[in-house]
Every structure is written in C-alpha cells, then in structure tokens.
Structure 1
Amino acid sequence: MSKAIAGPEIERLIQLLARVPGLGPRSARRAALHLIKKKEQLFAPLSSAMAEALERVRICSTCGNVDTSDPCTICTDPRRDGATIIVVEDVSDLWALERAGAMNARYHVLGGTLSPLDGVGPDDLNIKGLVSRVAEGGVSEIILAVNATVEGQTTAHYITDQMAGMDVKVTRLAHGVPVGGELDYLDEGTLAAALKSRTAF
C-alpha cells in the first residue's frame, strides 16, 4: 500500500487526475503539482472552466456530439449537407474529421463499437438513432468512418445490414497507404488493404 505524500485534498486531486485517459499516477502527480504551483494563473481559471462545462455541456439528441446546445451547432448548421451522414465511433473521431475539414456533412456518434467479449451489443450503441434518421428520409449516403479494428469492422457490417432495404448508399473510408507514407514502414495488413482498395491512376 502506497503511503500518502500530501494532504487528503491533494491526494484526491491526484487520484482524480489519474483517471483521465493518458495520465497515469506519475503524470497525475506532476500535473497536480504544476496546477498548485500555478494556482492563480492556471488552477483557478481551469476550475472555473470545468464548472462552467459541467453546467452547460450537453449531448446532442440528434447525433451524439457534445456541445452547449441541443441539437448541436453542426446539426443546426444550414450550410451542412444533410444528405450525407458520417458515422463515427466517438466524439474524438468527429473532432478529428472536423479538423481535417474534408467534408461539410453531418455526423452520427455511435458511442463505441460492438464487442461481444466486453458485453457491448447493438442496444448499447446509438445505432437505433441512426436507423431512425435514415428512415425519416433525406439521407442519400452513410459514410462509415469507424476504426479498422475487428470491432470496428463488425460494427460496420452490422450497420450495413440494418440499412438493407433502405434507399441509402453505404460507403466506408478507404484503407491503405497514408499520405506521405513509405511502403517499407507499413505493416502487412495496411499494405494488403491498400492493394485491395486500389483505384485507377
């Protein structure tokens, strides 16, 4: 059992920070110490921002994005192409695609992937919401932007099955050689996917 190195309030701060993805116990201790040292410049404004976020942030009832309004600003933006929905596993994937700025479409966040081993089934994800959105009409294409993992592909196949009989085209992201990638540094799975998904030059 590790011995407490500071008061209970600081220990609690360290324990809570250690739960944040990407921060282990050592990183959490460093972060807590940095916050305490920069109490006025960083800790107080961060505490205020977190309290405001806790009060104002909502989950969009349409797509599953996080925003301060429901529906979110993406769903209510009239300049967005409502006929195209990009399906992602998590909000972080939505943010990554928005940073890329490649498409001006709408999104649908699943909240994870199907994983029978972890007890995650279709009812645990936001798949019914996606089916409802397509059933309402006006959607011509669903782009499955899920990860190229076994769970991601299983989820993609399940969604494709759910769309059978609906008047909607289901596509997925291309897999293969990244922009600027050198073949010698790529794994065999990526090379195989790139060869299978080859296009005319």
Structure 2
Amino acid sequence: MSRPANRRPENPKIDWHLPTVSSSASAHHMSRELFVLTYGALVAQLCKDYEKDEDVNKYLDSMGYNIGIRLVEDFLARSSVKKCRSYSETTDIIAQVAFKMYLGVVPTVTCSNSTRFSLILDKNPLVDFLEELPAGRSSLCYCSLLCGAIRGALEMIHLAAEVTFIQDTLKGDDVTEIGIAFLKKIETRKHKRNK
C-alpha cells in the first residue's frame, strides 16, 4: 500500500503536562510553581553575592523593571484590553487581569486619592514556599521584582509611577500591600515628517 506523494506522515501529539482538568491549567500551575522556586533560588544567590539588603532590593527591582517592559507586549496581545481612561481603571486592569494572568491571584484595589492606589494581596504567590526572611536580612524586600515589573510595564504605556511595598507578610504584616503612585503621563514625541 502506497501513500500519496503530497501527504506527510502524521505525528501523534504528546502532552507532557501532568493530568488535571485541562492540560493548559496544568501547564500554568507547573510554570508558576517553577517560577516561584526559581525566584527563591535567585534571591538566595543574590543574598550570597551582596552584603547589603538595599543592593539586593535594587537588583530585584531592576530585574523586574526589565521584565515589565518586555511583558507588556505579551499582556496587551493576550488580554485584548482597551485603552484605559483613568489611573483607577489602569490599576483595576493590573489587579484583575495582569495579576490573574501571570500570578493566578487577584489583589484588592484601594484608593487613597486620584493618583495613589494600593494592591492588597491576601496571599502572595511569590512566597508560597517561604515562611520568613533569611536571618540577618530584615530590610530585604523579597518581592521587589513585582514593583519593578509594574513600574516597567506602566512606563511602556507612557505612565510614570512610583511602586513600593507598603506592607509585607514576610515582615509580620497581615497582608502584602503594593503602593502605586502615578506621577505623570509621559509625553510621547511625535515625529514630524520632512517634506
């Protein structure tokens, strides 16, 4: 029996994920878990490399910033959100869409004025396997990466913001609170066409 010349042999698809309700849910769960474990190893290594907590915090924030400026394209492509009309709407999208999409949690949004907002996480997924900060590292901001990522992503959509940790469960607080203070809208330069 011969095969037609223009037909390719069929290759069976192999699902490499652990069985759950769906393979995509399993892939998300596994990749999040892997990210959390890898992140913990990264922070541990940075604590060995840098003596001062401020240096580790700065490095994590910078790393998060670089992730945020690259992640915003993926977010806009996958989420199909429309342009936000206010800081409040932007913060809601960060909480309800971005955090859910990438970390699997939805923080509560609180507002102190028209430019200052807080994202309150009852459960911070980055500290799933961590109970307390390493000994002698009381000023370490373990999740600085999140602040940098938010700041970088906002900058890519032309919004300057200061993003800081206000409360941290690793430091004895009941919740993790990330503060976002919008500074200004970054002006985009329009290129004039030479005639």
TM-score, with structure 1 as normaliser: 0.29
TM-score, normalising length: structure 2: 0.29
- Greater RCO (Cα-Cα under 8 Å, separation 6 or more): 2
